[in-house]
Chains A and B, each alone.
Chain A
């Protein structure tokens, strides 16, 4: 495992094409929270999220050979692209896509309450990177976003804490959120 965990996404997917099951497992665990987080945010439905997640990873296996790494970076945008396509296709058809799983003759997996709780856990884990992005904001925006969004303070409180006018506090929060949104969208494309 240590060796697999150090491999890039590109190396793992190349190994998957070569029938390396452990490489797939590593890739799966690496990206599972991201996929679950994205799908839960989009669907708001834990069962659909679990179902679609299985479909996304089945599809990833089937198209692993098509992944073209751009440098040593993450396959996250590629993974999220597949997730988005599966989501859109499901919406278009009015039911959860299952083409990849059918092609793999997948056995249906039943969900219980613990599984649904696990969806929440994974999605929460996926949210952690946002905090890391907040930390990368310029100081005045970071402090404003922390105070307003994470600590849920009113704007007049934020302004007092940051020693600025309420208008400036609003601008800093707005600009900070805008930058975060841009960074997150960029990561998903």
Chain B
């Protein structure tokens, strides 16, 4: 007998006898495309990399291997020319990816886009899919109304009880401003555990439409050692380590595990829709702490976005006239203006109310790009008792270099791709 199922059996048996293929081995077709990509690659100029959302510390040339993902492209506008749309998409994708993969190569191969990350670590494929499939979205939050204390209650609800952690998250620590590491922040494991306890809460104002998965290894475990080896780092003593994630699906999460680590070797945490884990504002945008770095710090917020990036316009790198430092300015759509006015008014009113207790407690809004907090400025309720008009736009200032401010402006501007992409394989 030689039916379909016999032929399938024979093919797999041949593979069994040849041994499991290495994860880095590409099927013939992909290998060919990767070779084409190598020829037409445009070298990305390494500079100051604004956001490092990698699931692990920066890739080490010694530890990494090349990961290639091929995407089939189709135009969003049915009347658009696909080749031109792909060409327009490539620099956008490159800008989006290079925050995590500095040496990433993005090229066109017919109607496909080939992304190659040299020297990548084990979670590279999932990170590429996450970065491309889920564009970094700019989001404005009412900080105190959304940030959670370790008890799972919002900072705003706990300020009236003078909860010390709530006060620290709202007003900052001795040497740290709100949203910065040390100002009531926590490590990734604690943040994800807190976030995972929150029930699902769906609303049109969520920045994320589904769950997010993480997998952690126990302190000192073989899995953490394997992850550290894959990342070319040393395991952090006494701490849980990030083995994989964040990922949009469990299968993506598990497919990105370090070599030798299986699903049973760690703890999977699910952060439901309605809650986000945001990395604390980096001390320097030119040299941020990697997402998976053991020293990275995080906050947990309810995902109730007040103004989304789609309601901002014309982002550009500029110079703060007050201090002469690089910043990012942008305008709002009419909807964005209204929302910005509303949220800043709410924040000002709350600051006024809380400050009536005998102290000045200005309240804040937060700006995040993807899972990275960018800034948490306060609203002076005495100066802006009815909020800030969005008519003149807004600016984001912080520890920017000109390059990193340009990168942020580009990230905001370039959110929209003219094509939809489907990963092959």
Chain A: residues with CB nearer than 8 A to chain B? 16-17, 19-25, 28-29, 32, 36, 50, 53-54, 57-58, 61-62, 65-66, 68, 85, 89, 92-93, 98-99, 102-107, 109-112, 114-115, 118, 122
Q: Determine if B20 is an interface residue (Cβ-Cβ < 8 Å).
A: yes
Question: Which residues in B have their C-beta under 8 angstroms from that of A17?
Answer: 20
- Verify B17–A104 contact, CB threshold 8 A: no
Chain B residues with CB under 8 Å of A53's CB are 5, 8
User: Does B44 have its Cβ within 8 Å of any Cβ on chain A?
Assistant: no
Residues of A within 8 A of B15 (CB): 58, 61, 104
Which residues from chain B contact A99 at a C-beta distance below 8 Å?
425
User: Could you write out 30 A-B pairs with CB less than 8 Å apart?
Assistant: A17-B20, A19-B18, A19-B19, A20-B16, A20-B17, A21-B14, A21-B16, A23-B16, A24-B9, A28-B12, A32-B5, A50-B5, A53-B8, A54-B8, A57-B8, A58-B15, A61-B16, A62-B20, A93-B422, A102-B425, A103-B27, A103-B425, A104-B12, A104-B15, A105-B27, A109-B8, A109-B11, A112-B4, A114-B3, A115-B4
Asked if residues A24 and B13 are in contact (CB atoms below 8 Å), the reply is: yes
A118-B425 contact given A68-B264, A105-B28, CB 8 Å threshold: no
User: 7 extra interchain contacts, Cβ-Cβ under 8 A, other than A66-B264, A118-B5?
Assistant: A19-B17, A21-B17, A23-B16, A66-B263, A102-B27, A106-B11, A114-B3
Check A111–B4 contact: CB distance below 8 A.
yes
Residues of A within 8 A of B262 (CB): 65-66
Report chain A residues within 8 Å CB of B204: none
Nearest CB on A from B30, distance (A)? 8
A19 to B16, CA, bound (A): 5
**A25-B21 contact, Cβ under 8 Å, with A89-B251, A114-B3:** no
User: For the complex, what is the distance from the CA of A16 to the CA of B251, rounded to whole Å?
Assistant: 23
Closest Cβ of chain B: how far from A62's Cβ, in Å?
Answer: 6
Residues of B within 8 A of A93 (CB): 422
Q: Is B7 an interface residue (CB 8 A)?
A: yes
Tell me, rounded to whole Å, the shortest Cβ–Cβ distance linking A133 to chain B: 25
**Top 9 A-B pairs, shortest CB-CB distance:** A115-B4, A21-B13, A21-B17, A54-B8, A102-B425, A24-B16, A66-B262, A21-B16, A105-B27
Docked complex: B1-41 residues within 8 A CB-CB of A = 3-5, 7-9, 11-21, 27-28, 30
Q: In the complex the two chains form, what is the Cα distance from A133 to B249 in whole Å?
A: 35
> At the interface, is chain A mostly helix, strand, loop or mixed?
helix
Q: In the complex, A61→B18 CA distance in Å?
A: 12
Q: How far is the CB of A19 from chain B (nearest CB, A)?
A: 5
Q: How large is the interface on B (under 10, 10 to 19, 20 to 34, 35 or more residues)?
A: 20 to 34
Would you call B4 and A103 a contact (CB within 8 A)?
Answer: no
Residues of A within 8 A of B18 (CB): 19
CB pair A103 B21 closer than 8 Å: yes
A28 CA to B9 CA, complexed, in Å: 7
CB neighbours (8 Å) of B422 from chain A are 93
Residues of A near B19 (CB, < 8 A) are: 19
Contact A98 B12 (CB under 8 A): no
Measured CA separation A81–B7 after assembly (Å): 24
* Residues 261-284 of chain B, each 1 if its beta carbon lies under 8 Å from chain A, else 0: 011100000000000000000000
Q: Which residue of A lies closest to B425 (CB)?
A: A102
Contact A57:B4 (CB < 8 A) given known A66-B262, A68-B264, A98-B425:
no
Instruction: Judge whether B16 and A109 touch: CB under 8 Å.
Output: no
Docked Cα-Cα span, A20 to B16, in Å, equals: 7
B9 contacts across to A, CB distance below 8 A: 24-25, 28-29, 57
Q: A50-B4, A114-B3, A115-B3 given as contacts; is B16 within 8 A of A57 (CB)? A: no
Report yes or no: B251 in contact with A85, Cβ–Cβ below 8 A: yes
In the bound complex, residues from chain B placing their C-beta under 8 Å from that of A50 are: 4-5
Of all chain A residues, the one with the shortest Cβ separation from B423 is A93
Docked complex Cα distance between A92 and B13 (Å): 29
Chain A residue nearest to B10 (CB atoms) is A25
Chain A residues contacting B12 (CB-CB under 8 Å) are 24, 28, 57-58, 61, 104
In the complex, A20 Cα to B17 Cα: how many Å?
A: 6
- Residues of chain B from 242 to 270 with CB closer than 8 A to chain A in the complex: 249, 251, 262-264
Give the docked Cα–Cα distance between A101 and B249 (Å).
Answer: 20
Rounded to whole angstroms, the CA-CA distance of A32 and B7 in the bound complex is 13
A60 — nearest CB in chain B belongs to which residue? B12
**A156 to B151 CA separation, bound complex (whole angstroms):** 61
CA of A62 to CA of B30, assembled, Å = 19
Binary CB contact string for chain B from 406 to 425 against chain A (1 if under 8 A, 0 otherwise): 00000000000000001011
Give Cα A118–Cα B5 distance, bound, in whole angstroms.
9
| Chain B: minimal CB distance from A167 (Å) | 41
Residues of B within 8 Å of A19, CB to CB, are: 16-19
Residue of B nearest to A110 (CB): B4
Query: For the complex, what is the distance from the CA of A109 to the CA of B2, rounded to whole Å?
Result: 12
A65–B228 Cα distance when bound, in Å, is 22
User: Which residues of the partner chain A approach B264 to less than 8 Å between Cβ atoms?
Assistant: 66, 68
Per the bound structure, the CA–CA distance linking A57 and B424 in Å amounts to 20
Complex-state Cα separation, A114 to B15, whole angstroms: 26
* Distance in Å: Cβ of A139 to nearest Cβ of chain B: 39
